[in-house]
A and B are shown apart, each in its own frame.
Chain A
Amino acid sequence: MLIDTLSMLSKLTERLVKPAYAHCDLPCGVYDPAQARIEAQSVHEIMKKYAALDHEEDRWRAVFIKEQRADLVKQHLWVLWTDYFKPEHLEKHPELHDLIWRVTKQAGACKKTVDPAEGQKLLDLIDEVAAVFAATKQA
């Protein structure tokens, strides 16, 4: 009964009541493709070391960590893509959408394999993103 009354009151006053912020501040504005590259380096190094691991537990763990790092690569690139890059960047670098698509695809490909060549492809693609990023900073 009391709850019902309060619920009605809540609907009536919803628009009149002052806010209390359950918030997240504005984005910090710190962006750098180096973040994605460091995670990709981990992926690449794990691939190189995988074959030399003797114990099944170590191999299992290597694969597990490689998957996590590959996901972080995607995450960092998506943040750059959705938060950092602006329409004017895209005008000057029309290949950007396709590039981000290819590099995040490659991060996914790196989960399916322990072939270091795939890890190197990922690093090379991130370097292409880094080149676009650097160009936008100079503009």
Chain B
Amino acid sequence: MILLRRVAGGSMLPALRPGQVVVAIRATRRLVRPSQVGQIVIIRHDGLDKIKRVSQVRDDRIFVVGDNPEHSTDSRHFGWLPAASIRGRVVWPRPL
């Protein structure tokens, strides 16, 4: 239900600081909605949990980007991700 993760790295600055703990609601639905654009999500990619912000939604795929684009590896590099790669939606701290 609840997913706790510690932010590693600075790609989500200034919204999330490295070392900060975030609380996420586990994703149950396997569909994405346009209203999810702007949400911070924990995704499973390449064997790692990563934390990024949803920048675009298309059908059942998402495009995620770090808030600090100069210091982020994200969909600009690894492409669109299936909605199923979302592990959780960050609810605390409240996404800006």
Residues of A participating in the B interface, judged by any CB pair closer than 8 Å: 3, 6, 9-10, 13-14, 17-25
Beyond A6-B23, A6-B92, A14-B19, whether A22 also contacts B6 by CB under 8 A is no
Beyond A10-B20, A14-B21, whether A22 also contacts B9 by CB under 8 A is yes
Residues of B participating in the A interface, judged by any CB pair closer than 8 Å: 4-13, 16, 18-23, 42, 48-52, 66, 71-73, 77, 92
Cβ A19 vs Cβ B7 within 8 A: yes
Cβ B4 vs Cβ A24 within 8 A: no
Total A-B residue contacts, Cβ distance less than 8 Å: 67
- A65 CA / B20 CA spacing, docked (Å): 40
Q: Which residues of A contact B10 (CB under 8 A)?
A: 22, 24
Cβ A22 vs Cβ B8 within 8 A: yes
Which residue of chain A is the closest to B67 with respect to CB atoms? A22
Cβ B6 vs Cβ A17 within 8 A: yes
Q: Which residues of A contact B12 (CB under 8 A)?
A: 22
